[in-house]
Amino acid sequence: MSQEKIITVKNLTKTFGSFTAVNSISFEVNKGEIFGFLGANGAGKTTAMKMLIGISKPTSGEALVAGFDIKMQSEMVKKSIGYMSQKFSMYDDLTIKENITFFGGIYGLSRIQIKQKTVELIRELGLEEVADKLVGALPLGWKQKLSFSVALLHEPKIVFLDEPTGGVDPITRRQFWEMIYAEANKGTTIFVTTHYMDEAEYCDRVSIMVEGKIEALDSPKNLKKQFDVASMNDVFLKLARNIE
Partner 1 sequence: MKRFIGFVTKEFYHIFRDKRTMFILFGMPIVQIMLFGFAITNEINNVNIAILDQSKDTETQKIINKINASKYFNIQEEITNENQIESIFKKGKVKAVLVFENHFIKNLQTQKLAKVQVITDATDPNIANTITNYVNAILQNYTQEINKTTPGNYQIQAQTQLYYNPELKSVFTFVPGIMTTILMLVSAMMTSISITREKELGTMEVLLVSPLKPFQVIIGKVFPYIFLSIINATIIVLLGFFVFKMPLEGSLLLLAFESILFIVSALSLGILISTVSNSQQTAMMISLMGLMLPVIILSGFIFPISSMPLPMQIISNIIPAKWFIIIIKAIMLKGASIAVIWKETLILMGMTVFFIVLSIKKYKIRLE
Contact between 98 and partner 1 by CB under 8 A: the answer reads yes
Identify which of 187, 192, 179 has the alpha carbon closest to the alpha carbon of residue 125.
179
Residue type, 88: F
Contact between 139 and partner 1 by CB under 8 A: the answer reads no
Contact between 85 and partner 1 by CB under 8 A: the answer reads yes
Contact between 13 and partner 1 by CB under 8 A: the answer reads no
**Sheet (strand 68-69) strand order:** 19-30, 5-16, 60-65, 68-69
Q: Kindly state the smallest distance separating residue 63's Cβ from partner 1, in Å.
A: 15
How far apart, in Å, do the first and last CA atoms of the chain sit? 34
Contact between 105 and partner 1 by CB under 8 A: the answer reads yes
d(CA 193, CA 208): 10
Contact between 51 and partner 1 by CB under 8 A: the answer reads no
* Among the listed residues 78, 115, 195, 224, the single contact to partner 1 using CB under 8 A: 78
> Considering only residues 171-230, where is the footprint of partner 1 by CB under 8 A?
none
Contact between 17 and partner 1 by CB under 8 A: the answer reads no
- In this structure, are residues 47 and 39 in contact, taking their beta carbons and an 8 Å threshold? no
DSSP, residue by residue, 181-242: HHHHHTT-EEEEEE--HHHHTTSSEEEEEETTEEEEEE-HHHHHHHHT-SSHHHHHHHHHHH
Give the helix/strand (H/E) hosting 243: helix 232-243
Contact between 94 and partner 1 by CB under 8 A: the answer reads yes
Contact between 81 and partner 1 by CB under 8 A: the answer reads yes
d(CA 197, CA 7): 23
d(CA 49, CA 34): 15
- In this structure, are residues 10 and 62 in contact, taking their beta carbons and an 8 Å threshold? yes
Q: Kindly state the smallest distance separating residue 234's Cβ from partner 1, in Å.
A: 32
- Candidates 23-31, 105-113, 189-197, 221-229 — which segment interacts with partner 1 by CB under 8 A? 105-113
Contact between 138 and partner 1 by CB under 8 A: the answer reads no
| Cβ distance to partner 1 smaller for residue 25 or 77 | 77
Contact between 137 and partner 1 by CB under 8 A: the answer reads no
* Among the listed residues 17, 18, 41, 93, the single contact to partner 1 using CB under 8 A: 93
Q: Kindly state the smallest distance separating residue 201's Cβ from partner 1, in Å.
A: 27
- Number of residues in the chain: 244
| Cβ distance to partner 1 smaller for residue 114 or 210 | 114
Positions touching partner 1 (CB under 8 A) are: 53-57, 75, 78-79, 81, 83-94, 98, 101-103, 105-108, 134, 160
